[in-house]
Amino acid sequence: MATTSVPTVSNAELPRRLGLTDSTAIVVGMMIGAGIFLVPNLIAQSLPSPVWIMAAWIVAGGVSLLGALGCAELSAALPATGGQYVFIREAYGPAAAFVCGWSLFTVGRSGQVAWLAVVFSLYVGYFTPLGNWESRALSLAVLALFTWINIRGVRLGALVQNSLTLAKVAGIVIIVAGAIFFAHRLTAAATVPVPATAISFSSFGVALIACLLAYDGWVQLSFVAGEIRNPQRTIARALILGTLTVGALYLLANFAYLHVLSIGEIAGSSHVGADAAARVFGASGGAVVALLILLSVLGSINGCFLTTPRVYFAQARDGLFFRRFGRVHPRYDTPTFAIVAQGVWSALLILSGSYETLLDYAIFGLWLFYALMIAAVIVLRRRRPDLPRPCRMWGYPVTPILFLAIAAWFLVNMLLTRPGAALAGCALVLSGLPAYWAWRRWGNPELA
């Protein structure tokens, strides 16, 4: 893994160098991953109707926007590095905050980084065959590259994020434009039977879960709240603009898929984006989508290194993690050790092969903390009514309650439909409690 020197002592804060464009690129870049190219088949299998498919994406986008609005209120009121961790600390105390940071480091975001690096190697295999060890070596090289980039400064990390986000958005627009404007050149689509699935509340819920996972990532802007200029205005604007942009792109992409493929074809394809592009651009269409997925994955990996280590940095500054995680590089003004630690731990997950299982388990914990974060809007309004709130969650208290109801349904549905993964995820979250107790009893803040 990439390394750099770490100062022996540094109490410096992280400078505010990110503007609206950088912040919006983080939101869009984190939300748009490979999901929009892959999961539409799961949705079509549950909802064999264009109207209901579009409705599921709209509802999921609305839920994500509600979460972003709640996150915007909290970020504007508490614009500190660590974001979600800070909100939970202020609302529920240090134990809950420790468990949040513990879950993100051990499983949640580190597992996500490892999985994304492996997905990158798999899609590179579309262009050139890779053996097992070659694929692992490439995944580790990607981790090292983005570790190094984000050590070198938040401006460099933001520049890379802006470039990758622009490239992936442009690619989606090209596919959508090709499907809409060149559809008259297409030969008749093959007749594929529509899945005989009755549309019900249950089937809509299954589709909604897939859509919500494709929208995931908006919360991570809050992690770098302490490095955003004029955070009271910028964070809210970036969250709303970014979420709406992604929602519009997802709707356009699904409109394009439905324009060139039948419902049966979408339901029967595990690579819907590639099939739609191939229908429009011919044999080169699959390569176009593979390249887009590579860009999307790289953007998400860079975004994870740009944002998530700030949580461990904030946790260390609170004395709830090893002090070295809270140090700032004297030249680059970045939490160097926290960034390196995430890269090393993700690399170990890749080498152990446990990343995919852990990421599956982590989904439960991630949504549990989303619910706690939005509930913190209500808690802090009651507990700290005098806290300045430059941005207030629209529709309060109905909107946070609505988000909490959907989050509760998501968690209960996971417990009922995937009890093994849900219970394992719950156990991983709860493992943070004895870790917190052990840290408070025996933890040495001088450890580094």
pLDDT given for residue 34 in this prediction: 79
pLDDT given for residue 190 in this prediction: 47
Residue 414: pLDDT above 60?
yes
Q: What is the token pair recorded at 45?
A: 């299998």
Cα separations (Å) of 327 from 142, 156, 316, 332? 24, 19, 9, 12
Residue 119: pLDDT above 80?
yes
The average pLDDT across 338-364 equals 86
pLDDT given for residue 122 in this prediction: 83
Beta carbons of 236 and 391 less than 8 angstroms apart: yes
Residue 354: pLDDT above 90?
no
In order of their start, the domains of the chain are 20-441 (1.20.1740.10)
The kind and range of the H/E element at 166 are helix 154-181
Q: If you average pLDDT over every residue of the chain, what do you get? A: 87
Torsion, Cα of 375, 377, 379, 382 (10° steps): -150
DSSP 426-441: HHHHHTHHHHHHHHHH
pLDDT given for residue 417 in this prediction: 81
Nearest to 225, CA basis, from 243, 213, 216, 238: 238
Beta carbons of 161 and 26 less than 8 angstroms apart: yes
For residue 59, the SS3 value is helix
Q: Is the dihedral of CA 143, 146, 149, 153 positive or negative?
A: negative
